[in-house]
Amino acid sequence: MFDLQLVYIPLLLLVLILFASIKILREYERGVIFLLGRFWKVKGPGLVVVIPGIQQMVKVDLRVVTMDVPPQDVISRDNVSVQVNAIVFFRVVDPEKAIIQVENFLMATSQLAQTTLRAVLGKHELDEMLIERERLNLDVQNILDAQTDSWGIKVTNVEIKHIDLNENMIRAIARQAEAERERRAKVIHAEGEKQAAQTLMEAAEILSTQPAAMQLRYLQTLTQVAGDKSSTLVFPVPVDLIGSLMGRGEKNTAK
């Protein structure tokens, strides 16, 4: 009986060690293996054997990480205080660097994204933040991608979500927009008056060179006003118009 226990105990320990050494990694996972504290290799996906006590494995997820950057207080180049938040999309492309070169690549990327967002947006005016958001997204992405490359991380996209203003600034922008609309309305009105004056001047020059046209225009105006029978209107008749009409009547009588 004692001999059987001596046989079963090593077998049981061997089975337990075997089960403890077997690791299964999914398709999107990789295992960074350390041998006696030194980097050995990256394994996975599938079945991975890790010798307990001698080897250690750190799992790394290769899927795209969606990180929400908390709101950041940013002062624009024209001294406007705004709150900006964004979303950063990145993934690990080199598991060895992501584990060895940085203590916590998720935390490090988050902190770097916050400082980069403040630094990039602080170089632009408020109008540029609101209008050229796509260009700002690309600028932040390029800077983050360059700085996280040594960590084995690829930043695939950055999207600025909201740019929040305080109430005083919103009212100031509303007043500025209203003033701009009034200015455009006045400019358009002035342009219309200018064009109308030019047209009237051209018409006056034509009528001054053609007396008959002036008389016909006067008669046409009388006809239009006479159509309104609700009131009685008295119009002065120019002397030259009477003279021309009398002259035509005398010519018709002589004939």
Summarize the chain as % helix, strand, coil (round to 5).
55, 25, 20
Contact 51, 76 (CB under 8 A): no
Average pLDDT over residues 128-148: 92
- Residue 189 CA: distances (Å) to CA of 136, 176, 180, 183, 196: 38, 20, 14, 10, 10
Mean pLDDT in the chain? 81
Q: How far apart are CA 200 and CA 206, in angstroms?
A: 10
Sign of the dihedral defined by the CA atoms of residues 98, 102, 105, 111, in that order: negative
Which residue has better confidence, 255 or 65?
65
Position with higher pLDDT, 78 vs 30: 30
pTM for the predicted model, two decimal places = 0.65
How much is the average pLDDT of 38-49?
A: 91
Alpha-carbon distance 193 to 121, whole Å?
44
Chain segment 194-250, per-residue pLDDT in tens: 888 888 787 777 666 766 666 666 666 666 666 655 566 565 655 555 555 555 545
Residue 19 has a pLDDT of: 78
Indicate whether 16 pLDDT > 80: no
Q: What is the pLDDT of residues 140-156, one digit of tens each?
A: 999 999 999 999 999 99
> 25-39, 59-73, 170-184: which has the minimum mean pLDDT?
170-184
For position 1, what pLDDT does the model report?
46
Strand pairing category for 55-61 and 65-75: unpaired
